Structure 1
Amino acid sequence: MRIALLSPLPPEQTGIADYAAVWRRALEEQGVSVAAPLSGQPPAASALELGWQLQRVDWSRFELAHAELGGGREREFMALEWLARHQPWLKLTATVHDPERLIWRPPGLPRQWPRWLSQGAALLMDPLTLARERRLAGRLARLVTLTDTGADCLARRMRLPAERVARIPHGNQALPAAPLPPLPPEGPLRLLYFGFIYRGKGIEDLLDALALLQEEPDTRDRVRLTLAGGAAPDIAFGRSGSYLDSLRQHAIRLGLRRNMLDWRLNLPPEQIPALIQAHHTMVLPYRESRKLAWLGQMRGTSGALSWAAACGRGVVCSNARAFAEEAAHGNGEVYPQGDSAALAWALRGLLLEPQRLARHSASAGELGAERAWPSVAAQFRRLFEAVLTERGHD
């Protein structure tokens, strides 16, 4: 089987690029040939330039083209549109990382526009964008989401039969188990935020929750937090200055003691498992964008959650995205997004009942074993084999 992968790939610093690189290796270990025909090409400045790039590819070498869609990825979306028009014999599939939409913004909006103008244009043009998404979705042989919640939402919004949307969970590495650090009260509760560090992740809510715990006699000085992950300049810095500096200033304003916080930025991949396993639980305090709510509901998951499962660590997460589904396996706690008091209460519960940490860890380890990449890649291989035997659905 020969597949063309349309996706960002490292060194681009995005969660989808990281996912696609591991996905590609896992499929190749299943005996599937995966090539990235656009890899190394400069970003196309227009749909016309992208068309020229696509015309130079010998598509007869492939039986199927699979795209990773999400985060407003224009190139992959427009590449699928081009293939649907110019290579109608080629089977097309996509993993949709941010359902219930495929792209969320009109392709081709100038990147240099002010943010307010881009957002206004996206809102005004949304009926046309949604129609374009539905048209492309109708041409895809199969769409894949990482959660059941995402699959249900995507099928409804794209007006597709449920069987055209498959759910295959986020894969993770198969890692040896590691014991939890000493549980409270033998040691502090060690919390880890892990992922790309930029606005909208609710990290301020986590710092606020720590400040609330610091005010209570039975939880004061019993929590340590590590903030770890990617901090690429284009996402950690913006018109309002350095987000990292603003987080540090926020911690100072809250009066958090310096020994409560540790920073591990741009961690080498080989150090990630040891870092996660040095903590009791991962905290993901994401918030859903109020602006995106005008366009739909984002019901994706997070690569950080898959790392937690791989490392046998539980999670404390907000109910944003599809996190509640991902934490419903006995592997964590869920609280209402944006509610720092509720987050503090959930963390306090773990301090006072530390045996829950051990239960979460055991359930996470079982989930990680189920979702090891060989198993997940085999699900994709079977899906592609089924697609290649199907007749056209148009």
Structure 2
Amino acid sequence: DVPVHYEPHPAYPVDQRKAPDRSTARAQLALADVPTLLFFGFVRPYKGLETLLEALALLKDAPHCQLVVAGEIWGEALPWNQLLANLGISTQVRLENRYIPENEVATYFAAADLVVLPYRSATGSGVVRLAHSHGRPVLVTRTGALPDAVEAGVTGYIVPPADPAALMQAIRSFFTTASRSAMEQAARRSTQTDDWQRLARTILHQARSTT
């Protein structure tokens, strides 16, 4: 038997002094200064973007918000544009169908209020730690190790996968009842003990203890 040791994904080093404030980031991205959701990373079938789009359609105007999809679409973009039109949310969604270079990442997270990972299935995702490193709460689905990285109601929300209504309710709760400032602070604090040096020390310790 081979021993297994679980370690959380380390946080990403983020210099908050260099990050733009929320309104400035939105202006730089030519976004409206309204409540903003962010889906970050490659768009692939298992990531459940269509579930998030359906949730946004259910949300209607309570509250009115926009979604930024920042990442390259694997496959054709046309079906996604057609889905947006069919759901009546084309004006609320920005599809940034491209790889987001490192020097632009902070601006996208700064522009967002809530980062959403509506995955159908997953083992884990660095996007959760990336969001928390930027002080942004997350909304994840209960799949793989995603819930392990979120303290429900404190650093984010956890909902069932493939459930647009549950996503919609969590988004509405965040924008209408949650203390967003407190959640942002908690998200950032959650990364303070998770760094790459700690992971390296743990790997070395485990390697030495098994030899």
Q: TM-score, normalised by structure 2?
A: 0.85
Q: Which residues of structure 1 form unaligned runs of 5+?
A: 1-137, 141-163, 289-297
Please point out which of 173, 177, 181 is paired with 2:22.
181
Q: By how many angstroms is 1:180 displaced?
A: 6.5
SS of equivalent residue, structure 1 residue 267: coil
Structure 1 residue 376, shift from structure 2 partner: 2.0
Q: Which moved more, 1:305-314 or 1:323-332?
A: 323-332
C-alpha displacement of 1:171: 1.6
Map 1:32-71 → 2, pairs under 5 A: none
Compare relative contact order (CA 8 Å, sep 6+) and give the higher one, 1 or 2.
Answer: 2
Query: Percent sequence identity over matched residues?
Result: 26
How many residues align? The count is 198
Partner of 2:6: 167
The 10-residue stretch of structure 1 (370-379 or 172-181) with the greater mean CA deviation from structure 2: 172-181
> Is 2:162 the counterpart of 1:338?
yes
The list of structure 1 runs, each at least 4 consecutive aligned residues, that deviate by more than 6 angstroms after superposition, is none
Contact 1:168 1:380 in 2 (8 A): no
Determine helix, strand or coil for the equivalent of 2:69.
strand
**Residue identity in the other structure for 1:366:** R
Separation in structure 2 between the aligned mates of residue 230 and residue 303 of structure 1, nearest angstrom: 16
Deviations 1:303-336 (A, max 9, x none): 1112112211110111122222211262101111
Pair 1:301–1:263, CA change in 2 (3 A): same
1:229 matched to 2:71: yes
Structure 1 353/190 Cα, relative in aligned 2: closer, same or farther at 3 Å? same
RMSD: 2.0
Compare CA radii of gyration and give the structure with the larger one: 1
Task: Write out per-residue CA displacement over residues 22-49 of structure 1, whole angstroms, 9 at most, x where no aligned residue.
Answer: xxxxxxxxxxxxxxxxxxxxxxxxxxxx
- Alignment counterpart, residue 108 of structure 2, candidates 275, 298, 304: 275
Alignment of 1:1-394 (within 5 A): 138=1, 140=2, 164-177=3-16, 181=22, 187-214=33-60, 216=61, 218-219=62-63, 222-231=64-73, 236-237=74-75, 242=76, 244-258=77-91, 260-264=92-96, 265-288=98-121, 300-328=123-151, 330-355=154-179, 357-387=180-210, 390=211
Does structure 2 retain, via aligned residues, the 8 Å contact 1:331–1:364?
yes
Displacement after TM superposition at 1:384 (Å): 2.4
Distance 1:191 1:169, change over 3 A: same
SS class of match (2:38):
strand
| Separation in structure 2 between the aligned mates of residue 172 and residue 245 of structure 1, nearest angstrom | 35
Structure 2 distance, partners of 1:168, 1:318, is 20
Cα distance change of structure 1 residues 321 and 369 upon mapping to structure 2, 3 Å threshold: same
